[in-house]
Chain A
Amino acid sequence: MMQRPWFKVFIWFAGTVFFFMASAALISYFGPVPTEAQVMAYMAGMMAAMENSLMGLSMSLEGDSQLKGLIAQIASVTVPLIFVGIGFGVLVRIRRSRID
């Protein structure tokens, strides 16, 4: 697998992402003080998160229909992922046991 060109491209991409991340953290940490526009953009983003994302919904009451809808949405992503993961794990085990 490690010798496949497409996988080499993936490794290069993954490596680049981490270098971007480190650079972004350094630039942000040591960069100039944020402008008022940047602070406002961040605050607006936070407000949007409070309204639309889990941040605000986690603080809501259990009876909130929006919260229930969001939990169902998350479950629709994570539950198949869990089953795909389990299925893939079983497949790997079966394939390995056949080879052994």
Chain B
Amino acid sequence: MNVRFDFIMHWLWTIVFAILALSGLAMVGPRYGWILVYDIAAADFVHRVLAAVFVLLTSVSVAYEIMRSVKADSKKLTWFIIGKSGYQLFTLITTLIFIVTGVIIWVCMDSNMAATAFSLYIHEKLTYIVIASLIWHIYMKAHALLWPKPSSGIASKAKSKEGEVVSKGGKAL
């Protein structure tokens, strides 16, 4: 089975971001606490541990892109989380803002309240924007949710590579 690197990164990032967003939302305030049954301690722990994984995944992705640039590899990685245009660029920018504001919140919590408050505001509002964008992203890629038809299953398997499926318009997903 040949599963592409960008495909793995895409879904790893999805899982990590989903848990980070859920645990983060639960900590926003009393209105949001019900999301994790007011277990703020667990949410805080999970959020911080997975934040490290999130930074690691982003670092690996950025390093991979740099490596590709050095090698002058211009091949489009359809599944990759970051890139030079479109939703990949949006993800890169928002991810970097998340990381920077997250580090400020973590480091400055007991020393610089102004910086912490500002970063918390950006971190929270950006979460709403990214969640809304993800709904749009899921809508645009909704064909991935279609269950494969048993009759055309063999043909589509033969046509598509692992980690890549061809849509009706012939565009790689």
- A interface residues, Cβ below 8 angstroms from B: 1-3, 5, 8, 10-12, 14-15, 17-19, 21-22, 24-25, 28-29, 31, 34, 38-39, 41-46, 48-49, 51-55, 58-59, 74, 77-78, 81-82, 85, 88-89, 92-93, 95-96, 99
A96–B32 alpha-carbon span in the complex (Å): 45
In whole angstroms, what is the CA distance A35 to B148 when docked? 47
Q: Are B131 and A55 in contact (CB under 8 A)?
A: no
Inter-chain pairs besides A19-B138, A34-B29, 14 sampled, C-beta below 8 Å: A1-B1, A1-B3, A8-B147, A12-B145, A14-B11, A14-B14, A18-B18, A21-B18, A38-B30, A42-B38, A45-B39, A52-B45, A81-B53, A92-B3
Which of the residues A24, A42, A74 comes within 8 Å of B49, measured between beta carbons? A74
A92 & B8 in contact (Cβ 8 Å cutoff): yes
CA distance A41 to B33 in the complex (A): 8
Q: Is the pair B18, A48 in contact by a Cβ cutoff of 8 Å? A: no
* Residues from 131 to 173 in B contacting A, C-beta threshold 8 Å: 131-132, 134-135, 138, 144-145, 147-148, 153, 156-157, 160, 162-165, 173
Q: How far is the CB of A28 from chain B (nearest CB, A)?
A: 4
For B4, the chain A residues whose CB sits under 8 A away are: 92
Q: Which of A10, A19, A39, A51 contacts B135 (CB 8 A)?
A: A19
Q: Do A38 and B33 contact each other (CB < 8 Å), given the known contacts A3-B148, A3-B157, A53-B45? A: yes
Q: Select which of A2, A59, A92 is within 8 A of B5 by beta carbon.
A: A92
Distance, CA A39 to CA B18, complexed state (A): 25
Assuming A14-B15, A18-B138, A28-B31, is B145 touching A45 (CB within 8 A)?
Answer: no
Secondary structure at the B interface, as helix, strand, loop or mixed, is helix
Q: How far is the CB of A41 from chain B (nearest CB, A)?
A: 4
| Chain B interface (Cβ < 8 Å from any Cβ of A) | 1-5, 7-8, 11, 14-15, 18, 21-22, 25, 28-35, 38-45, 48-49, 52-53, 56, 60, 106, 109-110, 127-128, 131-132, 134-135, 138, 144-145, 147-148, 153, 156-157, 160, 162-165, 173
Asked if residues B131 and A21 are in contact (CB atoms below 8 Å), the reply is yes
Q: Do residues A8 and B145 form an inter-chain contact, with CB atoms below 8 A?
A: yes
Q: Which of B18, B31, B40 contacts A49 (CB 8 A)?
A: B40
